[in-house]
Structure 1
Amino acid sequence: MAPRAPIAAEHVLHHFLGISRALAGRLDFQSMIDAVSEEIRFILPHDHLDVSLILDGHSHLSAYETGVHTSWSDFAVHPLPIAQSPIRALLLGEEAYILSDDAMNDERFRFPGALNHPIFDARLRSRLHVPLRARGEVMGALSCSKHTAHYYTLDDVRHTQHVADLLASYLYALRQTDKAKQLAIAQAQIRAREEGLRLGVLRLTEELENERQRIGMDLHDQTLADMTRLHRRIGRLQLQDSVPGSELAPISLALQESMQELRLIIDAVKPTVLQLFGFEEGLEDLLLRSVRNSGLAIATHLHDSTEGLGNRLAEAQQIALFRIIQEAVNNAIKHAAPGSITVNITATDSHLHLTILDDGLGLDSASRLETGGIKNMQVRAQLLSAQVQIDKGPHGKGTCVQVSLPLPPSPEPL
């Protein structure tokens, strides 16, 4: 092949400056390499141009090409292991450049496992590869190819390296922007899934509560009414001389106790005070009723430092939190023999915190944490994406139940 005529320095400079203009507004790798290809064709003729970029794990690379189409384009979507790249020595920093007069016969591209068929299939004979460096490290390679053998010279190596140095900082910024965009998309998808899950959980909690209340009304209107009629009939039978009163008395007493227990269950199913008067008033009523029904002398205290934040929660959230506190209070009354029970409501910018503290027997047995009531509390908290922590009270006395509910972010001020 006849030697090519030298290119005037001013023409080289003109086209180098044109590269910067060509990059303006290019926001993706493919449009960038297409624009660069057209601009440098005068000073660096080529039939094929590609950019290889090392990925974060430093074990794979992606590739973008223009000109002759080869399977290198697949590596933009399905990264190629660097160990299989025909120019791995350059990517690993072992070579300053690779200049091949005829790649079809170049043993450097024929090592075991080399993925070299795109070169041979497209018959890219003259090949020139220089590194792309950013922040002192090799981040990829710029490659030029011609079908003609013995085409490129050391002058072309220098020109190509100058082009690579111009492109490297732009490619680095573009890659960082692309990574930030992908991260933002992933975070937005996570937030969308979390919000969808949160709304789904609230709907599920609401449906569960509605079903619970329906069962309570059915128990009141049907089962309790039937038991009341049976109790009255037993009472009438006790007045008849033909029926021994000593046999009916235990039955009447057992039925009366069952009715009282059922009334407590029905009363617990639907927190009407919570729905009528609000979260804090509902909790005050819960504490008073729980202690009154227990027949024990227990002092109760409720402190809310959130200015009624609980009242601004969704109804399903209020009811679920009410149930958790109800379970904690009942658990303390039944198992811990406390002298006092205190409920504290506090908040941070991101969470509402509920603390139920008693001065009873404490966590003297690990089995207490395995009760059905404790598991119910944990399940209810999970449905709200909340956390429940159960531990000993201050100075190792009593039990402390802490509930932490995430709050939605506050709107930005206008």
Structure 2
Amino acid sequence: MQRPLIQAESVLHHFLGISRALAGQLDFQSMIDAVSEEIRFILPHDHLDVSLLLLDGENHLQAYESGVHTAWGDFVYHPLPIVESPIRTLLLGEVPYLLSDDATLDPRFQFPGAFNHPIFDANLRSRLHVPLRAQGEIIGALSCSKHSACFYTEDDVRHTQHVADLLASYLYALRQTDQAKKLEIAQAQIRAREEGLRLGALRLTEELENERQRIGMDLHDQTLADMTRLHRRLGRLQLQGSLAGAELRPISQALQESMQELRGIIDAVKPTVLQLFGFEEGLEDLLLRSVRDSGLQIATRLSDSTDGAANELAEPQKIALFRIVQEAVNNAIKHASPQSIDVHLSCHLGQLALTIIDDGLGVLDEQPQDSGGIQNMQVRAQLLGAHLRIDRGPDGRGTQVHVSLPLPMMPINSALAKEA
């Protein structure tokens, strides 16, 4: 039975209808459902589907269908490798179109590994497939099927290609948007995991710091006190002549050195000046003690143009920053033999910047980037959510350690009070 001819004006009317149906459709399935009825007037079909190549680098495709539901619709959730698609020759650009009078008998759809059973299950005999092209590349295929055999003709190929060209740009844009959304979701999940790990590590750091401080107080209150009493008792025995002074002198000296080392450990694990008097005072005390204990003649300078912004940080953040400065200063003293060490605090665009500069030999020359001390600084910076950079100092001399991290949002009332 010959199909009635469609008037050109009617074809144009339905092409415009397809364009109107596309407007506002934000996902593939809604789009196919919306245009299916308009396409039916131009291309009668029992089954319509759009196959889209995925941007996964592995040559898979998804299918969205209207009319008779088939197993091809499951490719939305389980993409099909192109090599298993019955229309792989079209998707790979080997043929300009596929027109079949009876797909159940067509050898082009029947090859080893072909996912073609929907053709037989749904009795899709007459089939017509044309490529979807965008940006000069094949991005998928538009397919129409009828239960009856010998339904589509060469004239239908031209109409189908026009419909495909009309849909292709919209499908391309939807695919790019869908890919961008998937990437954004994946990146958001990664950021959430990283933030969870960072917060967990920061809490762990806080607990470790609390434990370090507890140990420091125990050492101070018990062990150091016991050693001090023992040292005094030895002194009294030496004065009383109960033991020979020559025998006591090395014991007393060793005990004195142990006490000094123990005080150093206590100072290292419990930065009391930082906690009692603030960040700037803690750094100043750190610089003075580090240079004094080294026995070297090193000039130090601390400048703070932040109006005490570092004190607005949470306690674990302040301590972690303090430890980074401590590591940088100790590295400079131990490896670089500097004549001066400068520490500068500044604020810029909501970021707290901390810079430690020495004019020594250069830690980067003496220590590789993966050395223990530098790794410690990098790990502490990561736990803070801070950015750490280690460069050569000004004029290529010495070392410059730069740390920047976001400042906490200041409450409006507090900001107004500071301005006042």
Quote the Cα distance in structure 2 between the aligned partners of 1:319 and 1:369.
23
Q: Report what 1:25 is aligned to.
A: 24
Quote the Cα distance in structure 1 between the aligned partners of 2:191 and 2:333.
40
Q: Report what 1:105 is aligned to.
A: 105
Q: Report what 1:208 is aligned to.
A: 208
Quote the Cα distance in structure 2 between the aligned partners of 1:320 and 1:124.
69
Quote the Cα distance in structure 1 between the aligned partners of 2:138 and 2:102.
25
The TM-score with structure 2 as length reference comes to: 0.86
The TM-score with structure 1 as length reference comes to: 0.87
The AA in structure 1 aligned to 2:313 is L
325-334 vs 150-159, which moves further = 325-334
299-308 vs 71-80, which moves further = 299-308
The AA in structure 1 aligned to 2:127 is R
Is the partner of 2:240 in helix, strand or coil? coil
Quote the Cα distance in structure 2 between the aligned partners of 1:294 and 1:405.
28
Q: Report what 2:175 is aligned to.
A: 175
Is the partner of 2:45 in helix, strand or coil? coil
Q: Report what 2:267 is aligned to.
A: 267
Quote the Cα distance in structure 1 between the aligned partners of 2:69 and 2:296.
85
**Residue 50 (1) aligns with residue 69 (2):** no
* Contact 2:68/2:122 (8 A) holds in 1: yes
Equivalence map 1:297-316=2 (5 Å): 297-316=297-316
- Give the superposition deviation at 1:128: 0.7
* Contact 2:341/2:356 (8 A) holds in 1: yes
**Residue 251 (1) aligns with residue 251 (2):** yes
Is the partner of 1:274 in helix, strand or coil? helix
Is the partner of 2:44 in helix, strand or coil? coil
Quote the Cα distance in structure 1 between the aligned partners of 2:331 and 2:269.
16
* Contact 2:331/2:363 (8 A) holds in 1: no
Q: Report Cα offsets for 1:62-113 as digits up to 9, x if no partner.
A: 1111222222112222222223322222223332221100111112222444
303-312 vs 43-52, which moves further = 303-312
Q: Report Cα offsets for 1:342-395 as digits up to 9, x if no partner.
A: 223355548644333333455597469887545543443343344555565556
* Contact 1:388/1:401 (8 A) holds in 2: no
- Give the superposition deviation at 1:317: 1.6
208-217 vs 323-332, which moves further = 323-332
* Contact 2:124/2:145 (8 A) holds in 1: yes
Q: Report what 1:11 is aligned to.
A: 10
Quote the Cα distance in structure 2 between the aligned partners of 1:53 and 1:274.
61
Distance of aligned partners of 1:10 and 1:327 in 2 relative to their CA distance in 1, 3 Å threshold:
closer
Distance of aligned partners of 1:107 and 1:337 in 2 relative to their CA distance in 1, 3 Å threshold:
closer
Q: Report what 1:321 is aligned to.
A: 321
The AA in structure 2 aligned to 1:67 is G
* Contact 1:384/1:405 (8 A) holds in 2: no
- The alignment covers a number of residue pairs equal to 410
Equivalence map 1:271-286=2 (5 Å): 271-286=271-286
Q: Report what 2:188 is aligned to.
A: 188
Q: Report what 2:414 is aligned to.
A: none
Quote the Cα distance in structure 1 between the aligned partners of 2:111 and 2:369.
64
Q: Report what 1:140 is aligned to.
A: 140
Distance of aligned partners of 1:195 and 1:373 in 2 relative to their CA distance in 1, 3 Å threshold:
closer
Distance of aligned partners of 1:95 and 1:402 in 2 relative to their CA distance in 1, 3 Å threshold:
same
Quote the Cα distance in structure 2 between the aligned partners of 1:163 and 1:391.
60
Calculate the aligned-residue CA RMSD, in Å.
Answer: 3.0
Q: Report what 2:160 is aligned to.
A: 160
Q: Report what 1:290 is aligned to.
A: 290
* Contact 2:364/2:392 (8 A) holds in 1: no
Q: Report Cα offsets for 1:102-158 as digits up to 9, x if no partner.
A: 111112222444332222332211001112222333221110111111111223223
Q: Report Cα offsets for 1:19-62 as digits up to 9, x if no partner.
A: 23333332211122122223332332212111011222382221
Distance of aligned partners of 1:294 and 1:242 in 2 relative to their CA distance in 1, 3 Å threshold:
same
Quote the Cα distance in structure 2 between the aligned partners of 1:334 and 1:224.
27
Quote the Cα distance in structure 1 between the aligned partners of 2:19 and 2:408.
43
The AA in structure 2 aligned to 1:93 is G
Quote the Cα distance in structure 2 between the aligned partners of 1:368 and 1:164.
60
Distance of aligned partners of 1:301 and 1:78 in 2 relative to their CA distance in 1, 3 Å threshold:
same
* Contact 2:343/2:355 (8 A) holds in 1: yes
* Contact 2:85/2:115 (8 A) holds in 1: yes
The AA in structure 1 aligned to 2:223 is T
Is the partner of 1:103 in helix, strand or coil? coil
Q: Report what 2:240 is aligned to.
A: 240
Distance of aligned partners of 1:184 and 1:389 in 2 relative to their CA distance in 1, 3 Å threshold:
closer
- Give the superposition deviation at 1:401: 4.5
The AA in structure 2 aligned to 1:319 is I
Q: Report Cα offsets for 1:214-270 as digits up to 9, x if no partner.
A: 111111111111111211222232233442232122111211221122122212322
The AA in structure 2 aligned to 1:4 is R
Is the partner of 1:118 in helix, strand or coil? helix
The AA in structure 2 aligned to 1:297 is Q
248-257 vs 370-379, which moves further = 370-379
Distance of aligned partners of 1:160 and 1:55 in 2 relative to their CA distance in 1, 3 Å threshold:
same
Quote the Cα distance in structure 1 between the aligned partners of 2:344 and 2:63.
60
**Residue 37 (1) aligns with residue 36 (2):** yes
The AA in structure 1 aligned to 2:239 is L
Quote the Cα distance in structure 2 between the aligned partners of 1:78 and 1:178.
16
Quote the Cα distance in structure 1 between the aligned partners of 2:407 and 2:196.
13
Quote the Cα distance in structure 2 between the aligned partners of 1:360 and 1:112.
72
Q: Report what 1:355 is aligned to.
A: 355
Task: Percent identity, please.
Answer: 75
The AA in structure 2 aligned to 1:91 is L
Distance of aligned partners of 1:409 and 1:76 in 2 relative to their CA distance in 1, 3 Å threshold:
farther
The AA in structure 2 aligned to 1:11 is S
Quote the Cα distance in structure 2 between the aligned partners of 1:341 and 1:254.
32
- Give the superposition deviation at 1:204: 2.1
* Contact 1:328/1:401 (8 A) holds in 2: no
Q: Report what 1:92 is aligned to.
A: 92
Unaligned runs of 5+ in 1: none
Q: Report what 2:413 is aligned to.
A: none
Quote the Cα distance in structure 2 between the aligned partners of 1:396 and 1:381.
24
